[in-house]
Structure 1
């Protein structure tokens, strides 16, 4: 377990040493401040407090979807980049199993996605508190948790898809392109019963909050959770099987 933790820490350190590492955080901070000022300047009545603003920004219909794109873009090359630079061989000759090496990269990607959502909440709340105040209703914290949780699941699903494509194709461009295309297609809904088993209509769990109605009859929150779990298992299964069997040389 200790060796695995060291692998995860090593992956995080490698990510943080990249010049582009802090760009997503900077983008989120700037957008949070600018949008808060815009709403205050031209739509002051639309946002009641920092809680309302944070909920709006963290939701998948707000900036949460763009945060998922940032996660996909940054983590797309975790595996394919190692292949391109030839450094994957050095990771595998250190006595660690291929499964542990790949799992450490995936855990680092999960931590990155989580950190983006947390930072989005912090930046949004700080901006909102300054411009809108902190008065809130009894369910304000719950709304933020629901919005943030839904966006985190949304990010993880598409990041896992991009992660799989990076393993299968060894191409950062392909991993990034497929992940981004999937996010764009997530808004597509086909009003047919079979479509409820497809990834896209299930990935946004926020549709079930506050009595919302799913896009296709027969969909429920437990149903969507099971569908997403199945897809994630399939994505990771394909990734690990391919990574373990493929010739690295």
Structure 2
């Protein structure tokens, strides 16, 4: 299995397009860092010594707004803000922090979507390209089970996705350290979950943040892999996956306004950060529920991919 995965990774990294993708990711991260640095210079703000008083006023205002609100989403948001503000005042943690390395690494996580786009392209072509180039026959005449061949390809896709995430995290950390301040002691991240606030180490938070934000990337790459295996068409796999990547969340959000069954749609559950930094799309959704739904979709995608690939006739 190791040699099969190694062979698939060699195929991926022999393509010039792979290095173009990595280059684009690095260049866009560099442009973002330069732009933020330009905005930061000349926009230096001194800390507000009266931040506790301001935060208290903001909290009182939020409480009044909460009493008059009829929107579930607004209520959940206000409850979160009130709880965090009260925790800050109780533990004397100022919300006004100078922009630093960790702030940029957090902002750079928006590029996970771009890394996901590149992963979809690789995932969509890793099986379909074997059929279009005619190399699938040479691959299957080897005394290796089809399931092992397909599993090796999927593992290679996952490793490529992890590689892009590692590149993004490492490069954003490096350029952030060069352009922005490295705090001697990073302020803890205030994690809000189930009505409670806990302090979380910033580095640990960023690793979890990147991990949770990459769930959507992995699920869409898995779907693209399934389409590629079932229909042998990389264009269909890329086009459909990218379309759903950009529109799936919005369509599901519209459905959730009228139908409670929208919580079973894949795109209502791919954003696990909604349980920590937002509000669940549909009332009643929980983190374990979303994990279970994602696991079911994952199994469906894999079963379809492996079943069709196993039964497919490639003699023609």
Could you say which residue in structure 2 is the equivalent of 1:40?
37
Contact 1:32–1:124 (Cα < 8 Å) also in 2: yes
Q: 1:43 Cα deviation (Å)?
A: 4.5
SS, match of residue 96 in structure 1: coil
Inter-partner Cα distance in structure 2 for 1:156 and 1:176? 14
Could you say which residue in structure 1 is the equivalent of 2:263?
196
TM-score when normalising by structure 1: 0.93
Where relative contact order (Cα < 8 A, 6+ residues apart) is larger, the structure is 1
SS, match of residue 18 in structure 2: coil
Q: 2:138 aligns with which of 90, 103, 115?
A: 90
The equivalences for 1:1-249 within 5 A come to 4-43=1-40, 48-58=99-109, 62-135=110-183, 136-138=186-188, 139-188=201-250, 189=253, 190=255, 191=257, 192-210=259-277, 212-249=278-315
SS, match of residue 99 in structure 2: coil
Aligned residues: 242
Q: 1:187 Cα deviation (Å)?
A: 2.6
SS, match of residue 20 in structure 1: helix
Bigger CA radius of gyration: 2
TM-score when normalising by structure 2: 0.74
Inter-partner Cα distance in structure 1 for 2:4 and 2:213? 27
Query: Structure 1: any 5+ residue segments left out of the alignment?
Result: none
CA-atom RMSD in angstroms: 1.5
Inter-partner Cα distance in structure 1 for 2:182 and 2:303? 45
